[in-house]
Every structure is written in structure tokens, then in C-alpha cells.
Amino acid sequence: MTAENRIAENQGNTNKINAKTSLYAIIGSPVEHSLSPLAQNAGFAAKKLNSVFLAFETEEAGRAINAMKALSISGYSVTMPLKEKVIPFLDSLDSVAEQVGAVNCIVNSDGLLSGHNTDVGGAMRALKNATPVSGKKALLLGSGGAARAIAFGLKQESARIIVSNRTNEKAKYFAKELGAKQVNWAERLFTEYDILVNATSVGMGQDSANTPFPAESLSRSKVVFDAVHTPMHTRLLAEAKEKACITVSGVEMFLGQAFEMFEIFTGLQAPEEEMRQAVLKERFSE
């Protein structure tokens, strides 16, 4: 069925749950504060699609995939810690997901599951709106799925990457994969950079009082990008602003990847303004 036919069939069904409703969900842990249901449901409503997006808390990749098949769930958004764990259960990967080694979007097409990565596009869209990236020195904190996506994007944009992670062995392995430089976690504070990227979970949710990079070590007037989007104004970004840095919120990365994911799910152009307003309304109400 074409996207146009889906719209015609579903006219008038917005916000009406019935036997024809397409189910989508985010899987991972934690998902309690995920913005994905807000963004995607706003998109579905704007396009008058008979679809709903929920949140399922789980750390079990295999069971989540089995449920997708058994219940004919149309699509998953995938977050930590499952972005790499779901890959063995999928039938195919797009070229970006395959090269990154991480999936954040799964589409169920009649039982055949395809994995995609929209984090790369979302991260580079957010970052390039704030600063040129080519030739810049980027200090990347983290080595998980989000870090892999951002690193892939940075490498595509010809940035010079320096990797640091709380577990040094993981950082060494990750840096070797990238062909990048690696510094120990303590050494990150004395490393020169043009762009500082936090792709760890430090500062997220209940950990919001913490920061992966102390204020006294931030370099004045540099670019600081925090992939954490809950809360919107992390401690890292607040302290970076006090240092006159250009700051890039994880909410911008989130929105960029959400727009691309909506288009993969539906085959329709994302209603960006409606999705953005739904997310920002929630963030600014906190």
C-alpha cells in the first residue's frame, strides 16, 4: 500500500485505536522519559495516520524481537543498551547501520526485519547547524551505540577524532576500529579539541547532577555537543555556556534522527514543525 493510500484509508481515524491501528514502540532501558512517543505520535496525528507509538522497557533483545514478530509490531525505535544487541536477530541492515555496527530503528515488513541507523544523520544535522565540522579536532566521550554513530558521522565529515571512555580498554578497541587517537579517561581533561562530544550517559535522567567534563576543564569558546537529551539543559551544556562555548543540545540530535525515522516508518515526509513543537513543549514544561 502506498503512503497516499494509507492516508486516504486512515482519514478520520486519528487518535482512534482499533484493529487496524499500526503499533510502533521504543525498546530499551531506561525509556520512562523517552521523547520518542511524543515526537512520533505528533507526526502520526499531523499526517492523520491510524498509528500509535508506545514505550517498552526491556534489556532483552531476543524477546523484544520475538514479540515484534508475534504481535506484528510495525517498527521499533531502539535505545540503550540494545542498539548493538538487536543486530543478530535482524534479517538485513542498511549500509549506515552495517558500517556503524549499531541500529536505532527496526522496520517489520511482513516478518522480515530491517535495521537502520538514523543517529548518524541526526547528530550531523545538529552539529553542522552550529559549526563547520571538516578538519576539526573532535574529542568524543563514550564508545557505545551513540558514540559509534557520531564517530561515523564525524569521520564522513573529515573530522579528526580523539576517543576517551570510562573503560579504557573499550576506548582502545573503539579507537583502533576507527583509526583514531585514544586518550585515557583522566587525560581527556588535558586534551585539546575544537568540538567536545558527550556520547556517554553521564548527566542523563536521575544522573542529571553530574557531568562527564568538569567546568574548570572546559575550553572557552569551543563547541560542546551533548547527546543526552533528558534533561534538555544538561549540567555540561549549562557550564559550557558560562564558558562562552557554542552549545548543541541532544534534543536537536534527537529531533533529526526522529524525523528520519518517521520517514522510514511511513514513507512520508516528516511533519517537522509539529514533531518539534510536541517535544519542545514537553522539555520547556519541566
Task: Classify the C-alpha dihedral 259-103-52-31 as positive or negative.
Answer: negative
Angle between helix 36-46 and 272-284 (nearest 10)? 140
Of these residues, 47, 83, 85, 222, which one is catalytic?
83
For residue 137, indicate whether it is catalytic: no
The residues pairing with 105 across neighbouring beta strands, listed in sequence order, are 77, 116
The residues pairing with 26 across neighbouring beta strands, listed in sequence order, are 55, 77
Q: How far is CA 179 from CA 135, 175, 222, in A?
A: 15, 6, 24
Q: How far is CA 264 from CA 40, 116, 181, 267, in A?
A: 12, 9, 34, 6
- Let me know the angle formed at the C-alpha of 264 by 98 and 117, rounded to the nearest 5 degrees: 25
Q: Which residues are catalytic?
A: 83
